Chains A and B, each alone.
Chain A
Amino acid sequence: MLELEAEQDAPIPLAARLSCGRAELMALVGPSGSGKTTLLRTIAGLYVPKKGWVRVNGAIWFDSARKIVLPTHRRRVGFVFQSYALFPHMTALENVMAAMGERRRSEREARARELLRLVHLEGLEHRRPAELSGGQQQRVAVARALAREPDVLLLDEPFSAVDRATRQRLYEEIAELRRVLSMPVVLVTHDLEEAIVLADRLTVLHHGRTLQTGTPAEVTTRPASPEVARLVDVTNLFEGVIAGKDEARGLVLLDWCGKLLEVRSEQAASPGTRVPWVIPDGFVLLHRRDRPSRGERENPVPGRIVRMVVLGQTARLALAPHHAPDLPIRFSVPIHVARRNGLAPGVEATVSLLADGIHLMTESNPSVRVSPPSRSETVVPA
C-alpha cells in the first residue's frame, strides 16, 4: 500500500493526495506539466516537496512535519524512466544485476536471467542497450526495476518512445506481468486511452492538483467537475438549470436552454441552481428512421446533423439541436448505421439523451477527492 500527500506553492505548485493498494495499478493522468512526473519522483525521493508525506506498507519514506527524508537508494522502488535510463556501459544482464546489491553475489546472475526471461529477453542477456530496440530496452528497464523486489513499481511514460505495434504488445506484457506482481504500481501517462486500458483506478491531475480518483469508467462517465470533464475528453459538456424533481420516479428535471431533460441523479441542488452537466458519447442514442427502438422516449432532442467525420469504421457526428443550434451534441455510430439512416451534414435527425447517462456536476471544483483508503486511516504516521 502506497500513500502520498504533497503540498507546496512553488516552484511547482502541488496539492496532491494519492493512494495505491497492493497489486493495484494506478494511472496518473494529466496534460504535460501537470506534475505527474513530480509526484512519481516524490515517491522515489528524487524530488522533495516542501510539505507532505509518503508512506509505503506502513513505513515512512518522507514526512516533512517530522523532517524525515529517506534517501532514494534506501527506498525500495522500481523506477522505469521515460528514457529507460539503462546503464550504457553494461549489458542487459549487468543492468539487471546492478539493482541487486542486497542479494548474495552467487544468486544474482541466476535471478537476473530469470527476470530477463520473464520479460521475454532470453538470448539477449549480453547485448548492450545500444544494441537493443526500443521495446527491448523498455523490457530491460522493467526487469531492472523488478530486480530489487521493490515495494512500489513506478512507471514514467514507459510506452511513449516505442512505435504503436510495440506499444500494444508491451501493454499485453504489462497486463500479464501484473499477475505475478503484488506491489502497488503507479503509471504516469498523458495518454488517457493507455490509462483506461491498463489501470484499475486513475487519478486526474492538473496544475499539480489531484482532481479526481476513480475507476476509468467512473472518471470518464461521471467526472467530478467541468475541469475533469475537459481533461478526460468528455465532449458533451453543457450547462443547465435545475427545474424541479420527480420524486416518485427518482428523476431530476433539468432545463437545458428551454428544453426539459429528465436526469437520473441523486443531486439535491435546489431548483434554480445552475449546474454544468455532461453526457458521454455512449449515452447519446440515435433514433432509427425505419423503426423506433428502446429508450427513444427518454429526452428526445431533434436537430440537424452539422458535421460528420468518418474515422475507420466509425462515423463521428455533431447534431445541432433545434432549440439550441449553437450547442452541438457529439456522438458516434458505426459507419453502417450512419449509412442505413442516411446521415449526412444537413440531414434532420433525432437523438435521445439517456437519463442514466446525464451527469450533473457542481460548478466549484471539489477540492482533492480520493477514493478509499479514507483520509482518517492515512494521516497517522506509524
Chain B
Amino acid sequence: MDWVAIGLSLKLAVVTVALLLPIGIILGRFLAYRDIRGKEFIEALVALPLVLPPTVFGYYLLVAFGMASPIGKLWYELFGHQLVFTFEGLVVASVIFNLPFAVQPMQRAFEAIAPDLRAAAACCGMAPWQAILKVEMPLAWPGILTALVLSFAHTLGEFGIVLMVGGAIPGETKTVAIAIYDRVQAFDDVAAGQMALFLLIFSLFTIAVTSFASRRVGRRLG
C-alpha cells in the first residue's frame, strides 16, 4: 500500500473540490440564469473534457503550461518554478478536467429552481445575494453536493492526464491511480490489489452517502 500516493490523491481531490466549489457555483448559476449569446459555446467548452481523450487534453495542457507558452512563463515569473510536473500543475489540470463534473450538476440544480421562487425572493425584499444565500443555495445544495462528490471521486481515479501533466514523481505528482499502474508493472499484485480495493470501497461509499443525503432532502422538500 503506497500511503504517500493515497495521501497525495486525497490532497489533490480536496484541493480540486475546494477550488471547484466557488467556480462551479458561479459558472453553473451563470449558465443557468443568464441568457447570453454564445452560451452554447461556453457549455460545449465546459463539456469538452467529457469527450476528449485524457492524453489529448493532457498534451494541450502540457503545451499550454510549458515554458514556451505565456501561461507557463507567467507562472515561472510569479512563483519561480515551472507549472508542469508539479503538484500545482496537477491541481490546475484537475480543476479544468473536472469542470463538466462540477458545473453541469450545479447548473441543473440552479435551473431546477422555479423562476417564480427567485421572483418571490425579490418580492420579499431580498437583495440578490440574500436570495442566493437563503433560497437558491438551500434548494440547490443536493446538486452542488453531487457535483463535488463526482469531482472528488473522478479526481481520485484520474490517470491519463495526471501522467501527462504531472509525470510520476513520488510525493509530488504520483497519485494512487498511477501507483496502482506502477505496482502492476512491477508485478506487485498484492499492493496493486490493496490500493484498487481501497479506491473501489472509498468511491462506492462516498457516492452512496451523497445519494442518500440528496434523497432525504428531496423527500423533505416534497
**A residues engaging B (CB < 8 A)?**
41, 44-46, 71-74, 76-79, 81-83, 85-89, 98-99, 101-102, 128-131, 144-145, 147-148
B94-130 interface (Cβ within 8 A of A): 114, 116-117, 119-128, 130
Residues of A within 8 A of B127 (CB): 73
Q: Cβ of B139 and Cβ of A89 under 8 Å apart?
A: yes
Say whether B220 faces chain A, with CB atoms less than 8 Å apart: yes
CB distance from A96 to the nearest CB of B (A): 9
Q: Cβ of B116 and Cβ of A98 under 8 Å apart?
A: no
Q: Cβ of A85 and Cβ of B120 under 8 Å apart?
A: yes
B-side interface size class: 20 to 34
Residue from B116, B124, B139 within 8 A of A144 (CB atoms): B124
Q: Which residue of A lies closest to B128 (CB)?
A: A73
Q: Cβ of B123 and Cβ of A72 under 8 Å apart?
A: yes
CB distance from A260 to the nearest CB of B (A): 56
**B residues engaging A (CB < 8 A)?**
114, 116-117, 119-128, 130-131, 134-135, 138-139, 220-222
Q: Cβ of B122 and Cβ of A71 under 8 Å apart?
A: yes
Q: Cβ of B139 and Cβ of A77 under 8 Å apart?
A: no
Q: Cβ of B126 and Cβ of A89 under 8 Å apart?
A: no
Q: Cβ of A98 and Cβ of B138 under 8 Å apart?
A: no
Q: Identify which of A76, A83, A85, A131 gathers the most chain B CB atoms within 10 Å of its CB.
A: A85
From known contacts A101-B130, A128-B222, infer whether A73 and B120 are also in contact, taking CB-CB under 8 Å: no
CB distance from A74 to the nearest CB of B (A): 8
Residues of B within 8 A of A144 (CB): 120, 124
Residues of A within 8 A of B220 (CB): 89, 128
Residue from A41, A83, A102 within 8 A of B114 (CB atoms): A83
A101–B135 CA distance with the chains assembled, in angstroms: 14
Q: Cβ of B125 and Cβ of A87 under 8 Å apart?
A: no
From known contacts A89-B138, A89-B139, A101-B125, infer whether A130 and B120 are also in contact, taking CB-CB under 8 Å: no
A-B contact pairs, 6 of them (CB 8 A): A45-B122, A79-B120, A81-B116, A83-B116, A101-B125, A145-B123
From known contacts A87-B135, A88-B139, infer whether A130 and B222 are also in contact, taking CB-CB under 8 Å: yes
CB distance from A334 to the nearest CB of B (A): 44
Q: Cβ of A44 and Cβ of B123 under 8 Å apart?
A: yes
A369–B134 CA distance with the chains assembled, in angstroms: 43
The 9 nearest A-B residue pairs measured at CB? A130-B222, A72-B122, A99-B124, A85-B116, A85-B120, A79-B123, A88-B221, A89-B138, A73-B122
A88–B222 CA distance with the chains assembled, in angstroms: 8
From known contacts A89-B139, A98-B134, A144-B124, infer whether A81 and B119 are also in contact, taking CB-CB under 8 Å: yes
Q: Cβ of B126 and Cβ of A73 under 8 Å apart?
A: yes
- Given A44-B122, A71-B122, A78-B123: 14 more A-B contacts, CB < 8 Å: A46-B119, A72-B123, A81-B120, A83-B114, A83-B116, A85-B120, A87-B134, A98-B124, A98-B135, A101-B125, A102-B125, A129-B222, A130-B222, A131-B222
CB distance from B204 to the nearest CB of A (A): 29
Q: Which residue of A lies closest to B138 (CB)?
A: A89
Residues of A within 8 A of B130 (CB): 101
